[in-house]
Amino acid sequence: MRHVAILTALLLAPLATLNAADKPVGKPNILYFLADDMGYADAGFNGGKDIKTPNLDQIARDGAILKAFYVQPVCSPTRSALMTGRYPSRTGVYSVVRPHAPWGLKLEEQTLAQVLRSASYETAICGKWHLGEFEPAYRPTQRGFDHQYGLWFGAIDYFTHCREGVLDWHRNDQPCKDEGYATHLIAKEACRIIRDKNPDKPLFLYLPFNAVHAPHQVPEKYCAPYPNLKGVRRTYAGMLSAMDEAIGQVLAALDEKKIRHNTLIIFSSDNGGPSPGKVTSNGPLRAGKGTIYEGGIRVCACVNWPGHIPAGKTIDEPLHAVDWYPTLAKLAGATPQQTLPLDGFDIWPVLTAGAKTPHDALILCGTQRGQAAIRMGDWKLLVGAGGNAKGTKAKESDQLYNLAEDIGETRNLAADKPDKLKELRTKYDEMMKTAVPSGEVSGGLKE
């Protein structure tokens, strides 16, 4: 619980008490782009060669690449971690919230949007919510967002905006029948919000695209530049190009409004790429979406704020989506009415001054209770991952890897390093001993 006390002090510290090197000029606008199911190595700035991503590459080039940025293996748990600063082991959001399921992110959780709105921010979400909607109280406009546009779930048709014949497109949580390609519509609305923003308030704009998640659909013109790619990979490339174009339009809107200079821009995927090698590329990382191997939870990410975050940096320190909650709250000068313990830390010194990660350990929950990994330094322990031992059909139990020497997690060192295994297992047991049940299994999270 040591870090909880530190976090509380950080969150409550007014901006006037910050060191000069850490102190931003005024409250920044905050723009968070969240891709859906994007491969770790599909952006040019992260080693991608197949697909053109000029706007993402520019964000990264003028800012910092986060080479060890962690999320959760699937959609809803990552969104929950980002919105609460808390691991799934605390929120119970281990798995995807299905359409009309009688549960969602607990109402007792104070979301990042609520925190920033309390600090006089205008708040907006354009894109995919995916944290519950079965009752109005669970929907975005009741969770801190002044404006909402887009989809509540995932896997919708990009042109009809329907899933299994049911429309899933909303404006301010009311059904909306706008016509057009989903990625284009999300960008258009985001640009409108920037253009019409309240001049007296900073803006928090959250853009969780449904791209590049299946179904794989995109206007053919976006596939034309990729004649050498085949099948779904070619369509995926077109979808990523369309999303990159949309991001460029939003950046242009910031320039036109003359607020780019005071806007913190964050980009990441919500989980690793699915079907790596066929649809996405996770580069040297093992496996993909849905797993707690690196390919499922270490994602493509970068951050940009000219004059504050040094350009051209690559940050190798392990960071997690939960860290944005306390970091952004502090930058905003917010004093969250949060009584629940946080797992995230303020990572501003890591981003701006070359500091080490504030985490002594990261917990990386799987899609069910009892399946998780822990990273401590270069070492990573997986519990309940279910992967096969190399060269056999046997299931491995505890798996231990040195990521500095083996980023592809090919050599399980559990038998060779019993002391290190014990050290990580002890820490894992300590951090997971209070893990809550899944909200899906418990049939609701309204308590």
**302 in active site:** no
The position carrying tokens 């040591």 is 2
Residue 65 · residue 313 · CB < 8 Å: yes
Catalytic residue among 126, 130, 170, 223: 130
Question: What does the alpha-carbon distance between residue 361 and residue 57 come to, in Å, rounded to a whole number?
Answer: 30
Burial of 312 (0-12, 13-18, 19+ CB in 10 A): exposed
Cα–Cα separations (whole angstroms), residue 392 to 395, 396, 416: 8, 10, 18
**75 in active site:** yes
Catalytic residue among 75, 191, 223, 302: 75
Which residues, 6+ apart, have CB-to-CB distance to 348 below 8 Å? 22, 327, 330, 331
User: 236-242 long-range CB contacts below 8 Å, 24 or more apart?
Assistant: 236/212, 236/279, 236/280, 237/50, 237/51, 239/183, 239/211, 239/212, 240/38, 240/42, 240/51, 240/53, 240/211, 240/212, 241/51, 241/52, 241/53, 242/181, 242/183, 242/184, 242/211, 242/218
Question: What does the alpha-carbon distance between residue 267 and residue 31 come to, in Å, rounded to a whole number?
Answer: 9
Residue 215 · residue 155 · CB < 8 Å: yes
Question: What does the alpha-carbon distance between residue 398 and residue 91 come to, in Å, rounded to a whole number?
Answer: 25
Residue 123 · residue 146 · CB < 8 Å: yes
* E-only strand ranges, 21-83: 29-35, 64-66, 69-70
Question: What does the alpha-carbon distance between residue 44 and residue 235 come to, in Å, rounded to a whole number?
Answer: 17
The position carrying tokens 């005024």 is 26
- 116 three-class SS: helix
Task: Please list the active-site residues.
Answer: 75, 130
